[in-house]
């Protein structure tokens, strides 16, 4: 498994396991532990969380899994996020959904994540969404404090556009190490609007959420999904892939921006399949065939 160096003290596995739906997989803690250990055998050592995943429950569930085998902590990288406040029975004080990137909330959220995970450090903390009310100086204060205390080793963002990244980065003594963005054969916005170009320019490897487009490629009857599915099937045959999922992973993995896909499945077969996709080589012609099937027209 390739590793991606994000900073002096952080490298990630090229494929990340995403725990967005961890609480929905109907697995016992022992089963999750076995899944995680199998991931590590495959070289997948980075696990992606957020405070809000599973209605604020995924972090603590994973923390309980780690408690079954505490020595795992030293062999994995924990990514989590903060900044969104959900309406939830687990947060009865929230009356509306909103963002909170105040120093107080960031620190409180991290303290809570540390408790949930039963750990004393987070490898990478991301601001979950660009906050139109963000005070960049205040975020920087929170980050500085958490870094000095050793509670968070590295910082990044998610779903930021270039100008939002610039704003926050301008206030930090250390650079943001990643931008976790939506990237898939059906989600081309970040390819078009400069976000991915910005990442490549600044040598920031982006993490890709929903790299399988939330399953729409497999089942949707929208025209775009049908076109893409047919093209993926054709190329699957050409490159001897086992599934169109593998072609979708290969499409992201082959991009020069060094995209880090987040595999969000609880099924070990699907995770293994994603790892195998690292071996698939697409020609430029094939890469553009897929792109064009999604755009619905030729490039200019």
Task: State the Cα–Cα distance between residues 1 and 4, nearest whole angstrom.
Answer: 10
Task: Tell me how far apart the 2 most distant CA atoms of the chain are, in Å.
Answer: 55
DSSP classification of residue 260: E
When asked if residue 191 is in the footprint of its own copies (CB under 8 A), the reply is yes
Name the minimum Å distance from CB 257 to its own copies. 9
- Judged by CB under 8 A, the residue of 194, 215, 222, 268 near its own copies is 194
Task: State the Cα–Cα distance between residues 103 and 22, nearest whole angstrom.
Answer: 28
When asked if residue 109 is in the footprint of its own copies (CB under 8 A), the reply is no
- Judged by CB under 8 A, the residue of 71, 74, 95, 219 near its own copies is 95
- What is the secondary structure of 101-162 as a DSSP string? --HHHHHHHHHHHHHHHT-S-BSEEEE-S--TT--HHHHHHHHHHHHHTTSBS-EEEES--H
**Cβ-based neighbours of 44, under 8 Å, separated by 6 or more:** 1, 13, 15, 16, 17, 263, 271, 275
Name the minimum Å distance from CB 262 to its own copies. 17
Sign of CA dihedral 248, 200, 189, 87: positive
Question: Residues 257 to 286: which contact its own copies by CB under 8 A?
Answer: 284-285
The two three-digit tokens of residue 216, written as one number = 């729409």
How many of the chain's residues bind its own copies (CB under 8 A)? 45
Strand duo 10-13 + 3-7: pairing: antiparallel
* CA-closest candidate to residue 59, choices 26, 30, 74, 81: 81
Nearer Cβ to its own copies (33/277) = 277
Question: Residues 10 to 69: which contact its own copies by CB under 8 A?
Answer: none
When asked if residue 163 is in the footprint of its own copies (CB under 8 A), the reply is yes
Whether 179 contacts 165, CB under 8 Å: yes
When asked if residue 1 is in the footprint of its own copies (CB under 8 A), the reply is no
Q: Name the segment binding its own copies (CB under 8 A); options: 23-31, 38-46, 57-65, 162-170.
A: 162-170
Selecting among 53, 56, 99, 249, the annotated active-site residue is 53
Name the minimum Å distance from CB 252 to its own copies. 12
* CA-closest candidate to residue 13, choices 103, 101, 164, 124: 124
Q: Name the segment binding its own copies (CB under 8 A); options: 54-62, 72-80, 131-139, 241-249.
A: 131-139
By rule CB under 8 A, what string of x and - marks binding of each residue 228-257 to its own copies?
---------------------------xx-
- Judged by CB under 8 A, the residue of 80, 113, 159, 180 near its own copies is 159
Q: Name the segment binding its own copies (CB under 8 A); options: 16-24, 47-55, 74-82, 135-143.
A: 135-143
Whether 3 contacts 12, CB under 8 Å: yes
Q: Give residues in contact with its own copies (CB under 8 A).
A: 85, 94-100, 102, 129, 132-138, 159, 161-164, 166-167, 170, 191-192, 194, 196-198, 200-201, 255-256, 284-285, 287-289, 291-292, 298-300
Could you give the residue numbers annotated as active site?
53
């Amino acid at each position: 498994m390739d590793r991606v160096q994000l900073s002096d003290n952080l490298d990630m596995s090229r494929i990340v396991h995403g725990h967005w739906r961890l609480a929905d997989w109907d697995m016992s803690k022992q089963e999750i532990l076995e899944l995680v250990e199998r991931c590590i055998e495959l070289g997948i050592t980075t696990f992606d969380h957020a405070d809000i995943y599973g209605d604020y429950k995924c972090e603590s569930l994973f923390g309980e899994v780690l408690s079954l085998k505490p020595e795992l902590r030293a062999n994995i990288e924990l990514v989590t996020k903060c900044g969104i406040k959900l309406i939830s029975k687990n947060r009865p004080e929230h009356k509306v959904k909103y963002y909170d990137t105040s120093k107080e909330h960031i620190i409180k959220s991290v303290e809570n994540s540390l408790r949930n995970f039963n750990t004393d450090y987070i490898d990478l903390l991301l601001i979950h969404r660009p906050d139109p009310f963000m005070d960049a100086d205040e975020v920087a204060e929170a980050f500085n404090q958490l870094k000095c205390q050793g509670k968070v080793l590295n910082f990044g963002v998610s779903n930021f556009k270039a100008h939002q990244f610039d704003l926050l980065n301008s206030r930090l003594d250390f650079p943001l190490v990643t931008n976790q963005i939506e990237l898939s054969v059906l989600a081309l916005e970040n390819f078009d609007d400069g976000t991915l170009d910005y990442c490549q320019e600044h040598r920031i490897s982006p993490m890709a959420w929903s790299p399988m487009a939330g399953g729409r490629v497999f089942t949707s009857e929208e025209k775009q999904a049908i076109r893409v599915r047919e093209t993926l099937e054709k190329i699957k045959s050409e490159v001897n892939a086992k599934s169109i999922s593998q072609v979708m992973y290969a499409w992201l993995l082959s991009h020069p921006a060094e995209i880090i896909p987040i595999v969000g499945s609880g099924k070990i077969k699907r995770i293994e399949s994603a790892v195998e996709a690292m071996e698939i080589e697409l020609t430029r012609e094939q890469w553009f065939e897929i792109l064009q099937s999604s755009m619905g027209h030729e490039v200019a």
